[in-house]
Copies of this chain bind each other. A is one copy, B any other.
Amino acid sequence: MDFLDEPFPDVGTYEDFHTIDWLREKSRDTDRHRKITSKSKESLWELIKSLLDAWSGWVVMLLIGLLSGTLAGVIDLAVDWMTDLKEGVCLSAFWYSHEQCCWTSNETTFDDRDKCPQWQKWAELMTGHAEGAGAYVLNYFLYILWALLFSFLAVSLVRVFAPYACGSGIPEIKTILSGFIIRGYLGKWTLLIKTVTLVLAVSSGLSLGKEGPLVHVACCCGNLFCSLFSKYSKNEGKRREVLSAAAAAGVSVAFGAPIGGVLFSLEEVSYYFPLKTLWRSFFAALVAAFTLRSINPFGNSRLVLFYVEYHTPWYMAELVPFILLGVFGGLWGTLFIRANIAWCRRRKTTQLGKYPVMEVIAVTGITALLAYPNPYTRRSTSELISELFNDCGALESSQLCDYINNPNMSRPVDDIPDRPAGPGVYNALWQLALALVFKIVITIFTFGMKIPSGLFIPSMAVGAIAGRIVGIAVEQMAYHHHDWIIFKSWCRPGADCVTPGLYAMVGALRPLTETRCDGVPSGGVTRMTVSLVVIMFELTGGLEYIVPLMAAAVTSKWVADAFGKEGIYESHIQLNGYPYLDVRDEFTHRTLATDVMRPRRNDPPLALLTQDATTVEDVETLIKDTDYNGFPVVVSRESERLIGFVQRRDLTLAIKNARQKQDGVVSSSVVYFTEDAPQLPASNPQPLKLRRVLNLSPFTVTDHTPMETVVDIFRKLGLRQCLVTRSGRLLGIITKKDVLRHMAQMMNQDPESIMFN
């Protein structure tokens, strides 16, 4: 009797920090599917079950879309409210943000909005004095206090409940989706804590964004709903299909770009999927986007983060400043990456790493202290960005639009930009310059702390500030020097020629292309991914401004590349050394499989089993002595003809099981991997047949196969290991880890940086 006919618990599952075997997962799912389809013919109930099973995928997508959309909306609202809470409170309803509070009052432009009576700053509320030094100091003090409170809560929650909730999470998600197991990284607790602490961290005024973490949150949702259906919870491969769709939903709500989200999940995080999942991802992304829009946190029924609409086109000559912006972007990108990585190293290595809470508190304190006095750093970063994007319209009354009107013009048409800048603008320029420096410095120290932190919004802000400054400069130059040859052609007096807001946008969208922060794709002609361009499309709406954007993006990337190719995100992944096999980098070295396989020249011979000549004891010792994930099985040590591969874990479980359940199985009984064990005399101990756990179709390549092909195979088929043969003889084995090591070596990196297997 073969007791293995009924499968025993968790055969074919994986341990923590292990790589999954995609092919195996896939065929397991196909078996499952076959069973269900065959059963479904039996009874109506089975039929219904099979239908439910077929639809479960869509149900999961729907749920993911709904939940992640809702969470995103809630987070946005909460952040708005708490950010304003640092400055004051709404009397009519304390749960209103400043803007909501003042919706009632008809004045909603920037300087008048403070006039709305419902909204009171803390000082005014406590002392009754709205103005004066005292009030200012009190507000200042309370602002810092709130900030500290929020960030303290955030960091301690993370530390106590969910250490995995910190950072942006994209690198880990990429690794998980590539077929790696990190238990609890997408767990319920992480979801809950990350959502809460994200709100706290953002509203504490720290220089960080919420885009990256939102993707992590969405993935947690995905994982959560997987557990509802055994189809997904029991199959790591299928689970990852859902997760990549969830990532799409995350990007969709983070940037308000559903298509971009799908492409992102396709290019960046998806690893080994049939294209059909694309459509599911799209569905999830759409649902999420709709949910977010129906919650409508931005007050306008628009999805996109920053909606911009300019009335003036751009001119060829403007490409020069745009490209300059690109150069600046490249420089600051490189600076940032270098500094940030150096700082993270220091944190890892020195005492500093031991006091994350103190660190967060300190940084928050400094941030708040320096941010408050400057109106452009005081308000939330996204508010800042949208003001910088703004085209100075008729009703626009922000400091940035304080232009001197030509006397011969009537008031309402003051949106013609051909005007000299007023004192307000120059004042704003100074403040912006300060804000720029401040942001650059503080972000370096902020990113990588033990709180949820995205890098997208901050680097966008830096770009936007720089852009606006340049924009105003060009504008004024154009105004004062209409006669200059470069302006003559397109910028006649009174003509509508330069839009500073456009410069801000060009500057701001560059980070998308330049750092890999938040896993937003790295730029550069060679590595720039379509998803980011699509996100740009969706953010800016249409082809109109794609050329300037691209120009800036490409230059910035080239500049950045000149100083070193590493994106922030790659550097961080290296810092953690995840076994991530990037689908996009090309392997073009001349090495062969034989150079990579183990055992090497002077290693001990390959640990293998024979199909009918090993005893249970031998197997057990082999398992004890080695830590390999599996062992090839050969006909005999002489012929070395390969017949299959058996997973360590399955082997262990099988033997344990047999020893318990199957009487007569002792240490000396022989293990058979053959079709049927020979009839032994009764004296011999009962043989143990393990063909059931033997993988009869192990993947093999010849020793002459170029590594290039091997890498290709590992990527495309998502293998865990691959056996090397020469003319039918088993020579060695190549595991994913070996491949990664080898690639690292070829790129002159420390091969030991890949820690896990």
Beyond A543-B289, A716-B717, A728-B729, whether A278 also contacts B642 by CB under 8 A is: no
Which of B26, B278, B590 meets A267, CB within 8 Å? B278
| CB–CB A704/B709 < 8 A | no
Cβ-based interface call for A1 (8 A): no
Cβ-based interface call for A588 (8 A): yes
Contacts of A725 in B (CB 8 A): 728
- Name A729's closest neighbour in chain B (CB-CB): B728
| CB–CB A33/B588 < 8 A | yes
Q: Which of A114-122, A134-142, A166-174, A524-532 contacts B (4 or more CB under 8 A)?
A: A524-532
Interface positions, chain A 686-726, Cβ under 8 Å from B, are 696-698, 700-702, 704-706, 708-709, 712-713, 716-717, 725-726
Which of B262, B537, B716, B729 meets A641, CB within 8 Å? B729
Contacts of A262 in B (CB 8 A): 530
Cβ-based interface call for A372 (8 A): no
* A702 to B695 CA separation, bound complex (whole angstroms): 11
Contacts of A529 in B (CB 8 A): 275, 278-279
Contacts of A590 in B (CB 8 A): 34
Contacts of A588 in B (CB 8 A): 30, 33-34
Beyond A303-B543, A526-B276, A696-B702, whether A533 also contacts B712 by CB under 8 A is: no
* A58 to B525 CA separation, bound complex (whole angstroms): 10
Using C-beta atoms within 8 Å of the partner chain, give the interface range for chain A: 35 or more
| CB–CB B33/A727 < 8 A | no
Cβ-based interface call for A129 (8 A): no
Cβ-based interface call for A621 (8 A): no
Which of B258, B543, B642 meets A290, CB within 8 Å? B543
Count of identical protomers in the assembly: 2
| CB–CB A543/B697 < 8 A | no
Q: How far is the CB of A370 from chain B (nearest CB, A)?
A: 40
Which of B543, B593, B643 meets A727, CB within 8 Å? B643
| CB–CB A706/B27 < 8 A | yes
Contacts of A643 in B (CB 8 A): 726-727
| CB–CB A279/B704 < 8 A | no
| CB–CB A704/B708 < 8 A | no
Interface string of A276-302 (1 = CB under 8 A from B): 101101100010011001000000000
Interface string of A519-553 (1 = CB under 8 A from B): 00000011111100110010000010010000000
Task: Give the one of A259, A293, A702, A728 with max B CB within 10 A.
Answer: A728
Which of B267, B282, B303 meets A533, CB within 8 Å? B282
7 A-B contact pairs sorted by A residue (CB < 8 Å): A30-B706, A34-B590, A286-B543, A635-B728, A641-B727, A713-B717, A727-B728
Which A residues fall within an 8 A CB radius of B?
23, 26-27, 30, 33-34, 58, 258-259, 262-263, 267, 274-276, 278-279, 281-282, 286, 289-290, 293, 303, 525-530, 533-534, 537, 543, 546, 583-584, 586, 588, 590, 593, 635, 639-644, 696-698, 700-702, 704-706, 708-709, 712-713, 716-717, 725-729
3 closest A-B pairs (Cβ-Cβ)?
A: A728-B728, A697-B705, A696-B704
Q: Contacts A697-B704, A697-B705 known; list 17 others, CB within 8 Å.
A: A27-B706, A27-B708, A267-B278, A275-B584, A276-B586, A282-B530, A282-B533, A290-B543, A635-B727, A640-B728, A641-B727, A643-B726, A644-B702, A697-B709, A698-B702, A716-B717, A717-B717
